[in-house]
A and B are shown apart, each in its own frame.
Chain A
Amino acid sequence: MKELRFFSVFWLHQAAAMLSFAAVVGIGLLVTRNPVNLFGIYARMFPVFVLIFPAVLTLSGRSVRDVALTFGAKRMKCYAVRELLGTMLLVLLLAAAAVLDKLLLLVPDGGEHTFGLTAGGAVLIFMFAFAAQQTAFLLEQVKGGKARGILLGVLMAALMGGGMMAYLLIGSRFGQSKNIEMGIGNPFWVGAVLLAAVAAAVMAAAAAFAERKAVVSV
């Protein structure tokens, strides 16, 4: 498919940049063996990057989509390809976050400093990041500072922020304390994942609908 060929090069650049960054952090962590230096901090915070970068990269991808349309690409194929590649990037980054989380355990005292990315936590982060990414797809269709744009921007930030809070609560000692039991076992998170999933589905449907009539603005 021509659209896949076109977008995949940009995707490879993005994925390579992000994975290189993760590799530098991982290698730095193993070499320095210090969980509280810059490498350790980045390793712990990588799930936060997972929440932010895919959405931000989606927002900046409109100009690339416009170029594709300029050359006669089909709107819905562009959208489908961008969804596919965006989700793949998200999964790759999440995998990198999981690897970095495991690497922290190999470093002396690393286990005390890791938030601990559980399988359930990864699902939760994925869903929040995915919902933020879908909101970004819709947001990129909005021109200027209209109320709808502001609302979607706030929603996207809220989804990223919600994901970050969830990650901190699930992984931190605060979240696992006896007074406020907010570990991954808390059924609250099932509701949060479902809520994010609904938000992602609604945003994706709205973005796909808007994409049908996308106009080149370059």
Chain B
Amino acid sequence: MNTIDTKNAVLCAAGVSKSYGKQEVLKKLDLNIQPGCIYGLIGRNGAGKTTLLGILTGQNTKDSGEVRYGGETVWENRNALQHICFSRELTPNTASGQNALRVKDYLRAAEIFYPKWDKAYAEQLLEKFGLPKADRKKAIAKLSKGQMSMVTITIALASGAPVTILDEPVAGLDVVARELFYRLLLDDYTKTNRTFIISTHIIEEAAKVFERVVILDEGRIVKDEPTEELVGRFAYLSGANEALDAAMAAAGVTALETQLLGRHKMVAVELSGAQRAQLAAADGISVEPMNLQNVFVALCGHGDAQR
């Protein structure tokens, strides 16, 4: 259940729908982004994450619904959009062919459009990521995937935008650069307390920085709540088949995902506090914690992970 405070939300989407041809990508979706929070937006490929982020930032059209920042519509509204930075994943190819724009072109655009752009900080970040000055004159298409991510992160962090959105920010980054990104993100968040929305497929690694997680599945938000609360409600139950089935039936618990291990099985379940206590007390049943990635697979895997 969505328990968020819509009055204090900084960025709100209400009843947003979007279709590409006959494919309905977003289905009357509601989302309220609270200020001063790091959100993780997770979903499978094609779940509609980038479409949603594009609509939230006025970069994509919607079929119906409304998106507002601080009470103002975001569509074609500079007053609202100057406070939102959606640093998109850079690609070597664009609609017009190879991406011939240079790193410095992107940085210059950020300087022009973001009123709180911090040029000196952007320089520092590029230095920290080890992107040499010579490479800043290179076309984006000539950069490695990791270098493109460095540019994306730099723009996001140096934008100073109260709502900053990153789409797959660590794609192509090595583990050292990824750790650097998470540290920089937390440093920035501590200093500015601005809102970040991070869309990623590298869930478990990013989970440590998510205060709140939004899970998007087949065009609908299936979860939107504090990460710890969400993860804390899910568990793996394991035991002998018959004993586990009986204990689950007694507790009124439904399996989200099942893995058969001969005469034993392990199931992923969502539990209330009382159900957890009841199952933990049952003979021959073990209750193990899940991590965010496990929760995500249980909720959105639709059995695909067991095939």
Contact = CB atoms under 8 A, between A and B. Distances in A.
Contacts of A202: none
Contacts of B108: 6, 9
**Size category of the binding interface on chain B:** 20 to 34
A64 B139 CA distance: 13
B94 A62 contact: yes
Interface in B82-118: 82, 84, 86, 88, 90-91, 94-97, 99-101, 105-106, 108-110, 112-114
Contact of A140 (B90, B96, B101, B106): B96
Given A213-B61, A215-B59, A66 B113 contact: no
A174 to B, nearest CB: 38
A63 B59 contact: no
Nearest to A216: B59
A63 B112 contact: no
A31 B84 CA distance: 56
Contacts of B101: 63-64, 67
Contacts of B110: 71
A64 B91 CA distance: 13
Interface residues of A, number: 29
Interface in A121-154: 140, 143
A1 B33 CA distance: 30
Contacts of A71: 109-110, 112-114
Contacts, number: 78
A215 B61 contact: yes
Given A67-B109, A68-B109, A215 B54 contact: yes
Contact of A6 (B58, B76, B86, B113): B113
Given A215-B60, A216-B54, A6 B97 contact: no
A63 B99 contact: yes
Contacts of A5: 112
Contact of B95 (A63, A68, A73): A63
B118 to A, nearest CB: 15
A114 to B, nearest CB: 36
Most buried by A among B54, B100, B112: B112
A66 B60 CA distance: 11
A70 B61 contact: no
A69 interface: yes
B76 A2 contact: no
Nearest to A61: B96
A201 interface: no
B78 interface: yes
B166 interface: no
Contacts of A218: 88, 90-91, 94-95, 99
Contacts of B76: 74-76
Contact of B59 (A60, A70, A140): A70
Of all A-B residue pairs in the complex, the 9 with the closest CB atoms, nearest first, are A72-B81, A63-B94, A71-B113, A216-B59, A63-B96, A217-B95, A62-B96, A60-B96, A71-B109
22 contacts: A2-B78, A59-B96, A60-B97, A63-B94, A63-B95, A63-B99, A63-B101, A67-B105, A67-B106, A69-B59, A70-B88, A71-B110, A71-B113, A71-B114, A72-B82, A73-B78, A73-B113, A74-B76, A215-B60, A216-B88, A217-B94, A218-B99
Interface of B: 54, 57-61, 76, 78, 81-82, 84, 86, 88, 90-91, 94-97, 99-101, 105-106, 108-110, 112-114
Given A73-B78, A216-B88, 9 more contacts: A60-B96, A63-B100, A68-B113, A69-B58, A69-B59, A72-B82, A215-B59, A216-B54, A218-B99
